[in-house]
Amino acid sequence: MSLTREQMAMRVARELEDGYYVNLGIGMPTLVANYVPEGMEVMLQSENGILGMGPYPTEAELDADMINAGKETVTTIAGAAVFSSAASFEMIRGGHVDLTVLGAFEVDVNGDIASWMVPGKLIKGMGGAMDLVAAARNIIVMMTHADKHGNSKLLNSCTLPLTGSGCIHKVLTDLAYLEIENGAFILKERAPGISVEEIIAKTEGKLIVPDHVPEMTFA
Amino acid sequence: MSLTREQMAMRVARELEDGYYVNLGIGMPTLVANYVPEGMEVMLQSENGILGMGPYPTEAELDADMINAGKETVTTIAGAAVFSSAASFEMIRGGHVDLTVLGAFEVDVNGDIASWMVPGKLIKGMGGAMDLVAAARNIIVMMTHADKHGNSKLLNSCTLPLTGSGCIHKVLTDLAYLEIENGAFILKERAPGISVEEIIAKTEGKLIVPDHVPEMTFA
Amino acid sequence: MAGFDKVVHSYEEALAGLTDGMSMAVGGFGLCGIPENLIAQVKKMGTRDLTVFSNNCGVDGFGLGLLLQDKQISRIYASYVGENKEFERQMLEGELEVILTPQGTLAEKMRAGGAGIPAFYTATGYGTPIAEGKETREFNGRHYVLEEAINADFSLVKAWKADRYGNAIYRHTAQNFNPMAATCGKICVMEVEEIVEPGELDPAQIQTPGIYVNRLIQGTFEKRIEKRTVRQG
Amino acid sequence: MAGFDKVVHSYEEALAGLTDGMSMAVGGFGLCGIPENLIAQVKKMGTRDLTVFSNNCGVDGFGLGLLLQDKQISRIYASYVGENKEFERQMLEGELEVILTPQGTLAEKMRAGGAGIPAFYTATGYGTPIAEGKETREFNGRHYVLEEAINADFSLVKAWKADRYGNAIYRHTAQNFNPMAATCGKICVMEVEEIVEPGELDPAQIQTPGIYVNRLIQGTFEKRIEKRTVRQG
């Protein structure tokens, strides 16, 4: 069975470490915040200007002036800081954020990522994604292994306009956890019940399969 | 009679306009603050991080954490802002300060200024002066016409290491007020009782003397 | 108006001098912290052929989206288009020139414009379409793109409180692009929820010093929420 | 120390890992807002061959002047030498390499180092000895100098109050270079007058967010005044 969104978030959460400052992209990456291991503290950075983002507000706490980078109303935790967009990207571009998790349309064996535009069809804009991928030392791309038409999103070379070049080293899909090294995807873990053959079939980019590929665990 | 320091400050103060943000250099330029015309408001910027610098503190107000760019203890006025050095030079380098008054060792007909170093003898450092002269739209150099050995400080070409190049257009000395245009000093006003001949004698750089050179007034 | 009192009493006065073909740096992130009344005034004035620097372009019918409706904007520098159908339509059909700009680069370009820095290098966008036609350069083994400053004719910003001198503070994440936008326009117009007397705000806590602000006006704000997300309390 | 608690309990621990030949970005302007106890600890440690980035170098016998006495500093980037005889003597006699750096350029170079900007253009110093050996370039008819970022091994800074997470605020003009110095070191050590619990400081008023701070220590400060100027009250 391919992973649910929640299982994907649980697996990404295993990459967290105590004391990490983390930026979670809009959409699925946001779910990672729900699976921070017991006894571990991480602090969420939101690129519109929050360090120490908290949960959604109650009706009573709701405040139009307190939103996250996904434009959702949020709260801050005790010990948060709120600042300008320039100050926020000083942190991001200066490499001070420990982990960035974001989605993508495509990733390739060179560590290139495409996530902001499908020419002629869809232009979301890059928001802060280009800044995040250019600067972060530690990035996990979190996406489905194939698109809804069954086309692989792990390629030899991205076909869409890039968000960043040579910056991705870790990919978590609904089928596998892979790392990118020396121009290839290395299959590190497979989703429970997913065969190596299925992953090979759904990976267009050069894939290296070690002798033993363990099943993923979540805690 | 050559001007006293106070008269020089009074003459510079005539260049002030209501609502001006002004940076006054260390030393003599500081005196200008004492001669702001009645009914006019100017706000003093100090490059270590004050907009709205006030007078020296009373003994009771004295605070080691509140100093100006000359390292003197000061106060702030109501409606001041205090900020970082980077924020301070954003203002200065962005050209937001309306008037800068500073001292100099030499000024020349090209608008070059030297004020921070006499090789082998004296190195004060440039502090914020290079930033101020590079960015300000409106600068008045305030200095004696000649040094203590009688050598002119208004030259065809500065001999000392420069603070800025082509940036000075107005000079107030103890003998005259001059403007710099098209590679020459233009004698605009002379100190009361000082002859045009004396100014000519003490100005090494190319000097243009209009038919009529009025005596300076102070209010 | 004398000395440092920046207060104006009508939105007409606030935006006097804004004419066709000019550029505006506009604060806000999504609909948060946008100068909503200043934007509404631009709509009322019908100023056309505007160049806008703003992270987003509002939504259909609110914020800068109002100016898209009437095709008052010719060109916009923004990082994000999503959730604004008219914006996407005008862009895809070529009615509107959109220069998509990474969010951090946009913030830094505005700051640079205000700070007298004509250009800076950044890793953001290297190897992507954003870098096309721009100088790139290596420092210490990494590649960077040269990005130039943004300078605008007008700055339209929204703060929480300001004193009459224009010293301003922002509320929560409504700060976002406002402080940088405030610095990079020739004429900075700020609207606030409350104008206080000089001395009421702590000097060390001022986020936009009054030196940047030319005109200050007190307004009332709808503060529309784009995505209302709540939890059970 | 777990999670985000940055508090350390001794100056030894605060500066552990600072070794000969390293570089330090140090906050303060004159003697105002200097990390005086951290500097005293560097003197005690006897660390040598240091490269220092700091606007000034203290005075004879206080602040960074202490490190000059023992010749612990090999190289310093500063904007101002005046009022420090030993500094001037070591510089003129070539015992100390001094790279005089305009004050605004120094502040911006530290900020750039913390912000991932490897280099920027500035008008400051064009046509002066400061520009020698540096690239210059014209933008819109004005000349600019390319200046590179400062990155240091350690940041030594002084704030007023910080919470345990390192979120800090500064007092009056003791802010000066501290916020920029805090961002450009690999390990930022901050000393403060008071450590408070997370939540006690207003999030919107934080001047150095805790993400920049690695070690935090509470100290007591002499706060020597360099020029005591008073008026009759």
> How far apart, in whole angstroms, are the C-alpha atoms of residue C138 and residue C126?
11
Inter-CA distances, C219 with B157, C6, C157, Å:
55, 15, 12
Phi, psi angles (nearest 5°) of residue B121 = -115, -50
State pLDDT tens for residues C148-167: 999 999 999 999 999 999 99
Nearest-CB residue to D111 (from B48, B59, B86)? B86
Cite the DSSP H helix spans in chain D.
11-14, 36-45, 65-69, 85-92, 103-115, 178-183
State pLDDT tens for residues B95-144: 999 999 999 999 999 999 999 999 878 778 999 999 999 988 899 999 99
Residues 132-151 of chain D whose Cβ lies under 8 A from any Cβ of chain C: 139-140, 142, 144, 148
> How far apart, in whole angstroms, are the C-alpha atoms of residue A86 and residue A95?
14
Contacts of A123 in chain C (CB under 8 A): 81, 88, 91-92, 98, 100
Nearest-CB residue to C223 (from A49, A56, A64)? A64
Beta-carbon contacts below 8 Å between C and D: 52
For residue A136, the model assigns a pLDDT of 81
Q: Is the Cβ of D233 closer than 8 Å to some Cβ of chain B?
A: yes
Q: In 3-state terms, what secondary structure has residue D216?
A: strand
Report, as ranges of residue numbers, the positions in chain A whose pLDDT lies below 50.
Answer: none
Nearest-CB residue to A81 (from D116, D117, D167)? D167
Percent of all residues in chain B with a pLDDT value above 70, rounded to a whole number: 100
Q: Is the pLDDT of residue D88 over 60?
A: yes
A89–D4 C-beta distance less than 8 A: no
pLDDT-based confidence at residue C211 (cuts at 50, 70, 90)? very high
For residue C122, the model assigns a pLDDT of 98
Average pLDDT over residues B182-206: 97
End-to-end CA distance of chain B: 18
Strand-pair category, C73-78 with C50-53:
parallel
Strand-pair category, A50-53 with A76-82:
antiparallel
Q: Is the Cβ of D111 closer than 8 Å to some Cβ of chain A?
A: yes
State pLDDT tens for residues C52-97: 999 999 999 999 999 999 999 999 999 998 778 888 889 888 899 9
Where in the sequence numbering do the catalytic residues of B fall? 47
> How far apart, in whole angstroms, are the C-alpha atoms of residue D166 and residue D5?
8
Q: Is the pLDDT of residue C1 over 60?
A: no
For residue D1, the model assigns a pLDDT of 46
Contacts of C183 in chain B (CB under 8 A): 90, 94, 96
Q: Is the Cβ of C13 closer than 8 Å to some Cβ of chain D?
A: no
Q: Is the Cβ of A209 closer than 8 Å to some Cβ of chain D?
A: no
Element (H, E) at A45: strand A42-46
D117–C122 C-beta distance less than 8 A: yes
pLDDT-based confidence at residue D123 (cuts at 50, 70, 90)? very high
Q: In 3-state terms, what secondary structure has residue A13?
A: helix
Phi, psi angles (nearest 5°) of residue B107 = -135, 145
> How far apart, in whole angstroms, are the C-alpha atoms of residue D13 and residue D10?
5
Q: Do chains B and A touch (3 or more CB pairs under 8 A)?
A: no
Q: Taking all residues of chain B, what is their mean pLDDT, rounded to a whole number?
A: 96
Q: Is the pLDDT of residue C44 over 70?
A: yes
SS3 readout for C10-64: CHHHHCCCCCCCCEEEECCECCECCCHHHHHHHHHHCCCCEEEECCCCCECCECC
Query: Which chains have 3 or more CB–CB distances shorter than 8 Å to chain C?
Result: A, B, D
State pLDDT tens for residues D155-169: 999 999 999 999 999
Query: How close does chain D come to C33, measured CA to CA in Å?
Result: 14
Element (H, E) at C192: strand C185-196
Chain A residue whose CA is closest to D212: A96
Of the listed A17, A47, A106, A197, which one is catalytic? Answer: A47
Residue ranges of domains in chain D, CATH in brackets: 11-218 (3.40.1080.10)
SS3 readout for chain B: CCCCHHHHHHHHHCCCCCCEEEEECCCHHHHHHHHCCCCCCEEEEECCCEEEECCCCCCCCCCCCCECCCCEECCEEEEEEECCHHHHHHHHHCCCCCEEEECCCEEECCCCEECCEECCCEECCCCCHHHHHHHCCCEEEECCCECCCCCECEECCCCCCCCECCCCCEEECCCEEEEEECCEEEEEEECCCCCHHHHHHCCCCCEECCCCCCECCCC
Q: Is the Cβ of B56 closer than 8 Å to some Cβ of chain C?
A: no
Query: How close does chain B come to C24, measured CA to CA in Å?
Result: 18
Residue C223 CB neighbour total at 10 angstroms: 16
- Active-site residue, A106 included: no
Contacts of C100 in chain A (CB under 8 A): 116-117, 123, 125-126
Residue ranges of domains in chain A, CATH in brackets: 5-208 (3.40.1080.10)
B66–D104 C-beta distance less than 8 A: no
Query: How close does chain C come to B114, measured CA to CA in Å?
Result: 22
Q: Is the Cβ of D146 closer than 8 Å to some Cβ of chain A?
A: no
Element (H, E) at D73: strand D73-78
Average pLDDT over residues B21-31: 94
pTM: 0.97
> How far apart, in whole angstroms, are the C-alpha atoms of residue D92 and residue D72?
17
C122–D116 C-beta distance less than 8 A: yes
pLDDT-based confidence at residue C178 (cuts at 50, 70, 90)? very high
> How far apart, in whole angstroms, are the C-alpha atoms of residue B64 and residue D63?
14
Q: Is the Cβ of D119 closer than 8 Å to some Cβ of chain C?
A: yes
For residue D92, the model assigns a pLDDT of 83
Q: Is the pLDDT of residue D30 over 80?
A: yes
Query: Which chains have 3 or more CB–CB distances shorter than 8 Å to chain A?
Result: C, D
